[in-house]
Amino acid sequence: MTEPLLRRLHARGEALTVGALPWVAPVYRAMPQVAEVIDFPFAHGGLQFRERRALAKRIEGRFDVAYVLPNSLKSALLPVLAGIPRRIGYLGEVRLGFLTHRLKNPPKGQRPPMVAFYSALSGDADFASDQPRLQIGPDQLQAALAGVAHLLPAAGGFYVFAPGAEFGPAKRWPAAHFARLADQLDAPALLLGSGKEAALCDEITAAARPGHCINLAGKTSLPEALALIAGARAVVSNDSGLMHVAAAFGVPQVAVFGSSSPSHTPPLNARARVVWLKNDPGYQPPLDCAPCFERECPLGHTRCLNDVTPARVLAQLQGVLQAVLHTGVQPAIQASQQPTQPEP
């Protein structure tokens, strides 16, 4: 979601260094406009002042401006300690003395799409058409896939499923539905996710017909997962980080939404189809509860996901693949295309 902002800054001549936690840093290494990526030595949670001060001393004097993307107080602390003169970000958690240029956070009910939210930090006025892009060259692709080659199907290609959603179960399409969908595909589905999602992917693999699913959750590095997504026939996912990775690579995809809203975090990809029962006038009774943005269904039924049938997702998947064949335009490994807003 931050890539369009970085592309804008690079286009106007800014040399970019990105500081990121190790679990997300490889995504920034797939952005050609980023000159350097610094892996932050911070754990999740806690201020960790000593570690931030040590890193600040290492980078002191190197930078003219810091764009602070998270809203937390601790995220704004490092640029202050490093003496970076211009510090730009959203007001966030009582950061008046930490940021020199501050944007007001939109009210909860008026939040723009996340791409626009981050692109606004550039100071530009027109960023409505910004689309995230990632790039991986053929040589990089083959090198990344070499580490997992023994886990891949021998021939015929593969699909990728991303059945997890770290936010919570109200964003996860049921495991049994993923299994039934895999049974109807003409090539195996690789299940990607973190080690935390290995049990979920085991459940899907056990429910599917033998050989239709290959569980790689927790078995790949992030660069390997990026390469698998870039090389897939298509991707089926929940509203998750890997959904946005597939969109940025321009891979044909179907994204299943439940408690969240595709108006806020859509897959920005011309080859994307979104399934969201909230938008279906034929679905009864209407989903007046969506989007609730809750981790677990407050009403206990999770109809928004349970009632999305595998047949419905398969039809969308076949439709987007047929459209790709009809146009004769294949997804570009280097993702240089300019995707457009997905169909609702």
The whole-number pLDDT of residue 211 equals 92
Average the pLDDT over 216-225 and give the result. 92
Question: Looking at the predicted structure, is the pLDDT value of residue 197 above 80?
Answer: yes
Give CATH for domain 3-122.
3.40.50.2000
Strands across the sheet with 65-68, in order?
65-68, 86-90, 101-103
The distance between the two most distant Cα atoms of the chain, rounded to a whole number of Å, is 60
- Cβ–Cβ under 8 Å, residues 120 and 103: yes
pLDDT single digits (tens) 222-248: 889 999 999 999 999 999 999 999 999
| Cα 65 to Cα 80: distance, rounded to the nearest angstrom | 11
**3-122 against 138-327: fold identical:** yes
Q: What percent of the chain has pLDDT over 70?
A: 94
Question: Both tokens of residue 296?
Answer: 């677990």
pLDDT single digits (tens) 109-140: 777 888 889 999 999 877 766 789 998 878 87
What does the domain layout of the chain look like in residue ranges?
3-122, 138-327
Poorest-confidence range of 50-54, 214-218, 328-332?
Answer: 328-332
Question: Both tokens of residue 40?
Answer: 């932050």
The whole-number pLDDT of residue 150 equals 83
Please tell me what DSSP assigns to residue 33: T
**Beta-carbon count within 10 A of 36 CB:** 12
The whole-number pLDDT of residue 328 equals 59
Question: Looking at the predicted structure, is the pLDDT value of residue 195 above 90?
Answer: yes
Query: Could you confirm whether domain 138-327 is CATH 3.40.50.2000?
Result: yes
Residue spans of beta strands (DSSP E) within the chain: 16-20, 34-39, 65-68, 86-90, 101-103, 159-162, 189-191, 213-215, 235-238, 253-256, 272-275
Closest to 259 measured CA to CA, from 300, 286, 291: 291
Please tell me what DSSP assigns to residue 9: H
- Does the pTM exceed 0.85? no
Residue spans of beta strands (DSSP E) within 174-279: 189-191, 213-215, 235-238, 253-256, 272-275
